[in-house]
Amino acid sequence: MSTQTLYLIFFGGLFPLMFLGYILGRQKAIVMRSQGIKMHSQPDQYGWFSALYTGLPIIMIGVCGVFLYLFGFRAIPASLLVAASLGVGALSLALLIKSIKASTKARDLVEDLINGMLIGASLVSVLTTFGILLSIIFEALQFFKMQSFFNFLFGLEWAPDTAFLEGAGRADAHAAEAKFGAVPIFAGTFYITVIAMFVAIPVGLLSAIFMSEYASSKVRAQVKPFLEILAGIPTVVYGFFAALTVAPLVVKVCNFVGLEAQYQNALSSGIVMGIMIIPFISSLSDDVISSVPQSMRNGAYALGMNQAETIRFVVLPSAMPGIIASMLLAVSRALGETMIVVMAAGLRPNLTLNPLEDMTTVTVKIVEALTGDQEFNNPLTLSAFALGLVLFVVTLVINIISVSTIRSFHRKYKVSTL
């Protein structure tokens, strides 16, 4: 039997059984009540009670079965598992209906189960983080078994072309040794991020100041959608724009002033990435600046400062922790940005300070290693996970710092300054 038919049978059994449970449970409660017995809960709740507790064992057995299969334990045939789960379900249905008494606390039991389900749902996000962490660490360890960790972090040369030989067990003799020194990749990532911040921080911060301090609520309502559209443009679209409009423009301008630029260059991807991040910085900083209490500003106005002086001397310094935190978040955004650099920055690890040359980034290398043929014994494929681990750790640290800063900032101004 194919997997699909098995699934079909499984769910085809599960839902009718649960439905049956609901009908029967409710019916029994109604009948009992009509006989004048005082029931603990409403008939509906007895219905739900039997339905949910019929489904529970079926699903549990199903899930356990799936896991058994995944871990290679296949002694019991799948069809038998499905049959067993449905059988147990039917049995528990019968027992449940029989066990319904006036004192059965159907409502409480149902709510316990629902509570459990809610807790289960909230576990998913935690599991996701751990899933990301574990999957990356596991594969990265494979990588570091083959390549030195130290060399990865501090090596200056990234030349993995012959790595597949090692994977194939032929890392002998004449083939040149594959090199996995990631410094040029880190440098490229860092450099492009810096360019992006040069664009995004001034424009984003000044926009935030305009929006929160100068714009009337009407202007605000009109301008905000533009920034939101800018924020909602998919990164692949920015990448297309960087590669096909901005990069040729940069090349043209450079030629005009007598400089030589490559079509894939760090500058154009950095600029476009910066523009992408503008709305991010401006909306976060806008929130922060708006939460500086009006009394601060009044204090400055009362001393005869004009609005600009008030903003510069009082508002911005008050908001500074929050602003810095939002910039950090933006940095982590830039470090993890993928499509723009994949499309416009280049593939060549290039240790240079010239922004007109091509460069590569961590994310580009991850994409490069994981598209096309993948063999999970090839260090090249696994290097993606090592790079991913670095990216994960760096962005996580930045996020934790900035989120806690922003939080304490908002907390500080929610209560009075006293």
Cβ proximity to other proteins: between 93 and 197 the closer is 197
The one among 235, 268, 378, 383 contacting other proteins by CB under 8 A? 235
Cβ proximity to other proteins: between 243 and 359 the closer is 243
Output the six-digit token pair for 106: 């159907």
Cβ contacts of residue 110 below 8 Å, gap of 6+?
A: 45, 48, 49, 52
Rounded to whole angstroms, the Cα distance separating 334 from 336 reads 5
The one among 12, 16, 234, 248 contacting other proteins by CB under 8 A? 234
**With contact defined as beta carbons under 8 Å apart, do 347 and 184 qualify?**
no
For the residues of 29-49, what is the DSSP string, one character each?
HHHHHHTT---SS-HHHHHHH
Smallest gap from Cβ 257 to other proteins, in A, equals 22
Of 149, 150, 130, the closest CA to residue 140 belongs to: 149
Q: Binding string, 307-336, against other proteins, x = CB under 8 A?
A: xxx-xxxx--xx-x--------x--xx-xx
The one among 75, 98, 122, 258 contacting other proteins by CB under 8 A? 122
Residues 246-305 within binding reach of other proteins (CB under 8 A): 275, 278-279, 282, 293, 295-296, 298-305
Smallest gap from Cβ 313 to other proteins, in A, equals 6
Smallest gap from Cβ 129 to other proteins, in A, equals 5
Smallest gap from Cβ 49 to other proteins, in A, equals 13
Cβ contacts of residue 109 below 8 Å, gap of 6+?
A: 49, 53
Q: Which listed range, 16-24, 76-84, 181-189, 338-346, lies at the site for other proteins (CB under 8 A)?
A: 338-346
Q: Is 236 in the site for other proteins (CB under 8 A)?
A: yes
- Measured CA angle at 188 (ends 187, 192), to 5 deg: 115
CA 186 to chain centre: 21
Cβ proximity to other proteins: between 162 and 412 the closer is 412
Cβ proximity to other proteins: between 95 and 206 the closer is 206
The one among 56, 194, 396, 401 contacting other proteins by CB under 8 A? 396
Rounded to whole angstroms, the Cα distance separating 28 from 44 reads 10
Smallest gap from Cβ 417 to other proteins, in A, equals 7
Rounded to whole angstroms, the Cα distance separating 169 from 274 reads 44
The one among 237, 252, 290, 410 contacting other proteins by CB under 8 A? 237
Residues 74-113 within binding reach of other proteins (CB under 8 A): 107, 111
The one among 51, 182, 209, 277 contacting other proteins by CB under 8 A? 209
**With contact defined as beta carbons under 8 Å apart, do 406 and 291 qualify?**
no
Q: Which listed range, 52-60, 177-185, 189-197, 410-418, lies at the site for other proteins (CB under 8 A)?
A: 410-418
**With contact defined as beta carbons under 8 Å apart, do 50 and 22 qualify?**
yes
Tell me the number of residues near other proteins by CB under 8 A.
Answer: 107
Cβ proximity to other proteins: between 93 and 200 the closer is 200
Residues 129-158 within binding reach of other proteins (CB under 8 A): 129, 131-132, 135-136, 138-139
Amino acid identity at 200? A
Smallest gap from Cβ 116 to other proteins, in A, equals 10
The one among 61, 243, 273, 359 contacting other proteins by CB under 8 A? 243
Mapping DSSP to helix (H, G, I), strand (E, B) and coil, where does residue 159 land?
strand
**With contact defined as beta carbons under 8 Å apart, do 345 and 361 qualify?**
yes
Q: Is 401 in the site for other proteins (CB under 8 A)?
A: no
Output the six-digit token pair for 206: 């000044």
Cβ proximity to other proteins: between 103 and 216 the closer is 216
- Burial class from Cβ neighbours inside 10 Å (0-12, 13-18, 19+) for residue 183 reads middle
The one among 29, 385, 405, 409 contacting other proteins by CB under 8 A? 385
Terminal-residue alpha carbon distance, the chain: 72
Give the CA dihedral 101, 107, 113, 115, nearest 10 degrees.
Answer: -160
Total length of the chain: 418
- Burial class from Cβ neighbours inside 10 Å (0-12, 13-18, 19+) for residue 401 reads middle
Residues 156-185 within binding reach of other proteins (CB under 8 A): none
**With contact defined as beta carbons under 8 Å apart, do 300 and 291 qualify?**
no
Residues 13-52 within binding reach of other proteins (CB under 8 A): none
Q: Is 417 in the site for other proteins (CB under 8 A)?
A: yes
Q: Is 119 in the site for other proteins (CB under 8 A)?
A: yes
